Copies of this chain bind each other. A is one copy, B any other.
Amino acid sequence: MTNPTACLLVIGNEVLSGRTQDLNINFLARGLGSIGIPLREVRIIPDIEETIITTLNEVRPRYDHVFTTGGIGPTHDDITSECVAKAFGVPWEAHPEAWEIMAAHYAKTAEGIAAFNPARQRMATMPRGASLIKNAISLAPGFTIGNVHVMAGVPRIMQAMFQTLAPTLEGGPPIVSLAVHSTGAAEGTIAEGLEAIQKRYPALDLGSYPYYRAGGQGVAIVAKGPSAEEAEAAIAEVTALFVSLGAEPVQGEPAPA
């Protein structure tokens, strides 16, 4: 069985301006890898209607799943939901269940049902046919339509939505990742032998990553793929390669800086 593929659209001027350090990409990259739906592409795009629609329609036929983060709040810069409706060519309308959840909540607040104002009503307005992605943290749900999963940009809300969503997605075999590293080793020395190993394991992705630590610099080699046996065999060969070059191999990734 091959792995389904994923693309992530990070929608938000605040990431492109540098105002916000994105944390969602890394979380979803790991989360999707662990359920066997590897992330193949990420695009960070601004809150511009035409850009969102065009990008969505460019990527959704190319990948099994498209995830979006950002732009589903109540303010004028939150336009993801309307854009998804336009991309799919369906009406953008009150979602009965989302509307009921939110109306019931605001009716119980001090301000009463008036607090469920037009801005907040937008968060219960979705493309026709959307199914909700509820979550334990925020009242307003995300939603899925077709192969597009629309989630919040705030990391803890996005993470809660992904926790609801992940068990509903059918993944392939989880991607196994094994590593070996050696402080003092240099990429330029190991490169030739490493390439030969990569050629013997074409189904694996063998990556070479230099690191710089107070304790010294070195190289980490990571083998990733659906077969644990192959990853183990390749890492054993890389370990032997380090030894043959006079470098001391240590299994796993180096400790964080």
Q: Which residues of A are interface residues toward B (Cβ below 8 A)?
A: 10, 13-23, 25-31, 33, 38-46, 73-78, 115, 117-120, 123, 154, 156, 175, 177, 187-192, 194-195, 198, 205-210, 212, 222, 224
Q: In the complex, what residue of chain B is closest to A192 when comparing beta carbons?
A: B119
Tell me which of B15, B30, B76, B192 contacts A117 (CB under 8 A).
Answer: B192
Q: Are B224 and A17 in contact (CB under 8 A)?
A: yes
| Extra inter-chain contacts (8) besides given A16-B29, A42-B42, A119-B188, CB under 8 Å | A17-B205, A17-B224, A19-B177, A19-B222, A22-B26, A42-B43, A75-B194, A77-B206
Q: In the complex, what residue of chain B is closest to A14 when comparing beta carbons?
A: B207
Main secondary structure of the interface of A (DSSP, over half): mixed
Offer 26 A-B interface pairs, CB within 8 angstroms, sorted by A: A17-B29, A17-B33, A17-B205, A17-B224, A18-B26, A18-B39, A19-B207, A20-B209, A41-B45, A42-B42, A42-B44, A43-B43, A74-B188, A75-B190, A76-B191, A76-B198, A77-B198, A115-B189, A117-B189, A117-B191, A119-B189, A119-B191, A119-B192, A120-B188, A123-B188, A156-B212
Identical chains bound together, number: 2
C-alpha gap A187/B120 in the complex (Å): 9
Which residues of B are found within 8 Å of A39, using beta-carbon distances?
16-18
